[in-house]
A = this chain, B = another copy of it.
């Protein structure tokens, strides 16, 4: 994930790479606006070193689209529920498109009311959450987001998986420090990282998940083949994961992580659930400017010896790469083939 490419690594501009990925997505059934939004998300993650949510996801998108599981041409519908509450029926399309539709009005509601809620249902998500929340922090707003996924995690104290990886993300402006942003699976690790570990043949820490008999394991193959992940942090992390199910599916109207059946869609990889956003306008709170207070917190953390601030490694890599993304040459060639229809 460093910035110096190995010999078999190509350097390609973010713009060109986005074009290639968008072309792949269009070729597989996305309308052009959908393809562009998903490509920007996917290439942005690759650029920032979030490889488990970057180009690695392209095959998942293709398989989900081809199997008819997700509708790449879906046109989401915005619903006005209350002065501080908007909802979007994603019509079996991607949440990012639903968010894009709602963004302007949601931002206006946040600024008018001080806080607003956006509920997205009937939607699919196969990406990181930080690309969803960061743009709000760039506008001076605080954004929280949660999304439930597919059943793959055994709640603390239970015997069978119920929860998804159920990530939880926050982005907040931080004055001179840019922004504070985190995006965490509420499982021990993200599902994408388990898949990467299996592909690359390395073990995860013991207790990352359980095997098919419920025994703790760090073997990605045992976790993926009939086993499951577990929530991070024992019963407390399990409660955070429960909150994500409750708010995304219970409140937001999406499926719970176990409520969709993709068995008739071989290759389907995009959980069909719900996502919620809570947006806050800190300028409405009064008192000292929020950014100054966030700077104070960052300074204190630095003084206490914290070297990695949340989100900073990605942002540093983004700045260092300056729009140029390293990609394994063979991988890039394959992506070009997919884009041109020379590979399936």
Q: Chain A: residues with CB nearer than 8 A to chain B?
A: 79, 81-85, 87, 112-117, 119, 121, 142, 154-155, 157-162, 170, 172, 180, 182, 184, 186, 232-234, 236-237, 239-240, 242-243, 245-247, 249-253, 256, 258, 278, 280-282, 284-288, 290, 293-294, 296-297, 300-301, 303-308, 310
A100 CB to closest chain B CB (Å) equals 21
In angstroms, Cα B151 to Cα A248, docked, is 33
Q: List 14 A-B contacts (CB under 8 A).
A: A87-B285, A113-B113, A115-B116, A142-B251, A155-B306, A158-B301, A158-B305, A159-B304, A182-B239, A233-B234, A233-B236, A237-B237, A240-B240, A253-B286
B250 touches A290 (CB 8 A): yes
A82 touches B310 (CB 8 A): no
With a cutoff of 8 Å between Cβ atoms, the chain B residues found around residue A157 in the complex are: 305-308
With a cutoff of 8 Å between Cβ atoms, the chain B residues found around residue A240 in the complex are: 240
A304 contacts which of B82, B155, B304, B308 (Cβ < 8 Å)? B155
With a cutoff of 8 Å between Cβ atoms, the chain B residues found around residue A247 in the complex are: 142
Contact A114/B142 with A233-B233, A301-B162, A304-B162 known, Cβ cut-off 8 Å: no
Give the residue name and chain of the B residue nearest to A180 (CB): B246
Give the residue name and chain of the B residue nearest to A181 (CB): B239
In angstroms, Cα B83 to Cα A303, docked, is 38
B250 touches A81 (CB 8 A): no
A246 touches B285 (CB 8 A): no
The 9 A-B pairs at the shortest CB distance, nearest first, are namely A233-B233, A85-B114, A82-B114, A84-B113, A159-B305, A253-B287, A250-B293, A158-B304, A160-B304
With a cutoff of 8 Å between Cβ atoms, the chain B residues found around residue A307 in the complex are: 157
A79 touches B278 (CB 8 A): no
B85 touches A246 (CB 8 A): no
With a cutoff of 8 Å between Cβ atoms, the chain B residues found around residue A306 in the complex are: 155, 157-158
Give the residue name and chain of the B residue nearest to A249 (CB): B293
Interface of A is mostly: mixed
A115 CB to closest chain B CB (Å) equals 4
A83 touches B286 (CB 8 A): no
Give the residue name and chain of the B residue nearest to A303 (CB): B160
Give the residue name and chain of the B residue nearest to A111 (CB): B82
A154 CB to closest chain B CB (Å) equals 8
Give the residue name and chain of the B residue nearest to A118 (CB): B115
A112 contacts which of B83, B121, B182 (Cβ < 8 Å)? B83
With a cutoff of 8 Å between Cβ atoms, the chain B residues found around residue A294 in the complex are: 246, 250
In angstroms, Cα B328 to Cα A104, docked, is 60
In angstroms, Cα B280 to Cα A87, docked, is 14
With a cutoff of 8 Å between Cβ atoms, the chain B residues found around residue A180 in the complex are: 242, 246
A81 CB to closest chain B CB (Å) equals 5
B285 touches A85 (CB 8 A): yes
A161 touches B304 (CB 8 A): yes
With a cutoff of 8 Å between Cβ atoms, the chain B residues found around residue A278 in the complex are: 115, 278
A98 CB to closest chain B CB (Å) equals 15
Interface centre among A84, A180, A305 (most CB of B within 10 A): A84
